[in-house]
Amino acid sequence: MSSRSPLQGVPAVSDPPHRLSRRRLLRHAMAGTGALLAAGPLSGCASPASASGASALSVWDLFQGGDGMLMDEMIDAVSRGDDGFDVDRTILDWGPSYYTKLAMSAAGGRASDVAAMHLSRLAGYAPGGLVDPFDLDLLAEFGVTEKDFTPAVWSRTRHEGTVYAIPLDVHPFIVFYDRKAAEKAGLLDSSGALAPLGSPEALLEAGRALAKATGTSGIIFGHVTDTAQNWRLFAGLYAQTGAEFTLPDGGPARIDVDAAVRVVTLMTQLFDGKTNPNNLDYNGALAAFTGGRGGMAMLGEWELPTLKESGIDLGAAPFPQVFEKPAVYTDSHSFVLPHQDDPDPERRREAHRYVAAVLKQSLTWASAGHIPAYQPVLSEPGYAKLEPQSSYADAAKVAVLDPPNWFVGAGSNFQNRMCQPLQSALLGNTSPEKAVRQMVREADALLRQPNPVA
C-alpha cells in the first residue's frame, strides 16, 4: 500500500503500562529482523498460549497509531466482566514483513490464536493451509452469521467454499470534498450531499468547476512514487466498466484491453496538470487539500482523522459512479485463525467468541473512518450520527477487492508493478495504450511465478 496506508503516517502509540512486556519487547525484536525472517523458530516471538501454558488469548495485529488506540479500547471493552477475555496482544509493523511473519508462525508451529489480515491477502494463505477455517455454527452461537455482512465482502472470505476470514471493516477509496467549494461549483444536491455524476464527462466538468470555485485546483490525487494509489483509482474505475480483470493460474491474464485503455485515458484527462495537478505525491496531495488548494481529494477513508483536523467543512461520498455500474475499490481488515497442527477445542471456541465480541464493538472502530463490516452496527443510532462516515457507508455494498491471487493484495508487489505504467501515463511519459500493454505484461509475468506456499 501507499506511503500513507490505513496504518501508516500516524505516530505509534506508547504501550499502556499494563501491556508493556511482551508487546514492546516483540515490537523492538521484530524491528531488527528486516523484511524477512530466517527459517526456523521466530526470534523474539512469545509462544502462543495453550491449554497447558498461559491462559491469555494470543492475538496478532498490525494496528498502530490512532487505529491501535481504538483496538485497545475495543479489547478493553470485551475484557470486562466475569466472561471477559484475557488478551495477549502483539502489534507488528504493517507491510510485507507482517505477512511473512504471519506465514512463518503458521508454518513453524508458533501461531497466535487470532490474527488480523487484509482480506485481499487471503488467497496467498488459505490454499497453502496457513490459516484454518472458521466454524460458522460456532460463530452463529455467538451472534455472528453470513447475513450480517454484505455479499460483496462476504464472497471474498471463502476458499473453495470454506470461510477462512471474518471481516472487521471495509476501508474504501472514496472522495472527500470541501462543502463550500462543492456548493459554489454546483455539485451538491438539495440535501447538501455530493450529487451523482454519472459519466466521465461529468467528472471532468466537476474538476473544472471546483478549480474555478477554489481559484487553484479542482481534484487532488497523490500518486508519484506511491505503490498503490494509481492501482486503487484504476481498479475502481475499471470495475465500473463491468469488464473482468481475471488472473488465472499460469496465465495469460484475462483483461479487457479496450476497457482498460478507456479508464487510463480518463485518468490522464482528469489529471491533466492544469485543472487538476498530475505530479503530486501522497503527502503533497494531503497538504494541498487540507491547505485549501483543491476542492476534492481522492483518498482512502483512513485519512478522515487527519482531514477533520484541517478545519475544512468536510464532506465525503463513495467514489462516484462514472461508467456503467456502481463499484468502489476497497479492502477489508479481517480476522483469521492462523494454522495450528493440533488446536485446543476450548481455545478455538474462545477465539470464535473473541472475534464475535470485537465485531460488536466496531462502532468504536468506525470513529476512525472505517465502515464496520458487521452490518448490525450500521443500524445503531450512534452510527447515523457519525459524519461524514455514514454518508459513504453504501460503498460496502459495491465493494471491489483485488483479484483473488496469491501474489495480489495490500502491500503486494502486484500493486507496485501495476502502478508503475499507470504513473508513467499520468505524468505524460507514455500513452494509455502503452501503459495498459505494460500492465498486461506485468500480470502475465507474475502469473508464471509458482506460489511458494501452494
pLDDT digits (tens, 9 = 90+) for 230-261: 999 999 999 999 999 999 999 999 999 999 99
Range of the domain at 26: 17-168+332-393
Q: Let me know whether 69 and 99 are in one domain.
A: yes
Q: At 263, is the secondary structure helix, strand, or coil? A: helix
Determine, yes or no, domain membership for 453: no
Write the pLDDT tens digit of every residue in 356-396: 999 999 999 999 999 999 999 999 999 999 999 999 999 99
The Cα–Cα gap between 302 and 169 comes to 11
**Which pLDDT does position 427 carry in this prediction?**
97
DSSP notation for 190-202: TTSSBPP--SHHH
Q: Are residues 183 and 278 both part of a single domain?
A: yes
Q: What are phi and psi of 334, to 5 degrees?
A: -135, 165
| Bond before 403 cis per omega within 30 degrees | no
Mean pLDDT estimate for the chain: 88
Residues 87, 221 within the same domain: no
- The number of distinct structural domains making up the chain is 2
**422-441 residue pLDDT tens:** 999 999 999 999 999 999 99
Amino acid letter, residue 19: R
CATH number, residue 368: 3.40.190.10
C-alpha atoms less than 13 angstroms from C-alpha of 139 in its C-beta half-sphere: 23
Contact 411, 96 (CB under 8 A): yes
pLDDT for the residue numbered 55: 76
* 282-333 pLDDT per residue, tens: 999 999 999 999 999 999 999 999 999 999 999 999 999 999 999 999 999 9
| 172 cis-preceded (ω within 30 degrees of 0) | no
CB distance 302 to 80 below 8 Å: no
Report which secondary-structure segment, H or E, holds 65: helix 65-78
- Given a cut of 90, is residue 9 above it in pLDDT? no
Does residue 118 form part of some domain? yes
3 pLDDT above the threshold of 60: no
Spatial distance between the Cα atoms of 309 and 134, rounded to a whole number of angstroms:
40
Neighbours of 338 (CB within 10 A): 25
Give the pLDDT of residue 38: 29
Q: 148 with 66, same domain?
A: yes
Are 107 and 132 members of one domain? Answer: yes
In a domain, 407, yes or no: no
Contact 276, 211 (CB under 8 A): yes
Model confidence band, residue 135 (pLDDT cutoffs 50, 70, 90) = very high
* Residue 11 domain flag: no
Q: Picking from 48-62, 151-165, 250-264, 344-358, which range would have the lowest pLDDT averaged per residue?
A: 48-62
322 part of a folded domain: yes
Task: Note the maximum CA span of the chain.
Answer: 68
The answer on 275 and 203 residing in a single domain is yes
Q: Are residues 193 and 160 in the same domain?
A: no
Does 253 share its domain with 362? no
User: Do 183 and 310 sit in the same domain of this protein?
Assistant: yes
Tell me if 454 is assigned to some domain. Answer: no
299 and 339 fall within a common domain: no
Put simply, whether the predicted model's pTM sits higher than 0.85 gets the answer yes
Q: Say whether pLDDT at 4 is over 80.
A: no
CA 193 – CA 393 distance, rounded (Å):
14
**In this structure, is residue 405 part of a structural domain?**
no
% of residues, the chain, pLDDT over 70: 88
CA–CA dist 234, 264 (Å, integer): 7
Evaluate whether residue 323 is within a structural domain: yes
Q: Are residues 262 and 296 in the same domain?
A: yes
Say if CB 292 and CB 218 are below 8 A apart.
Answer: no
Instruction: Name the one residue in this structure whose C-alpha cell is 456502481.
Output: 326
Tell me, what DSSP letter sits at residue 101?
Answer: H
Complete DSSP assignment for 336-380: EEE--SS--HHHHHHHHHHHHHHHTTHHHHHTTTPEESSGGGGGS
Q: Which residue matches cell numbers 463513495?
A: 318
Nine cell digits for residue 389: 462516515
Q: In this structure, are 217 and 117 located in the same domain?
A: no
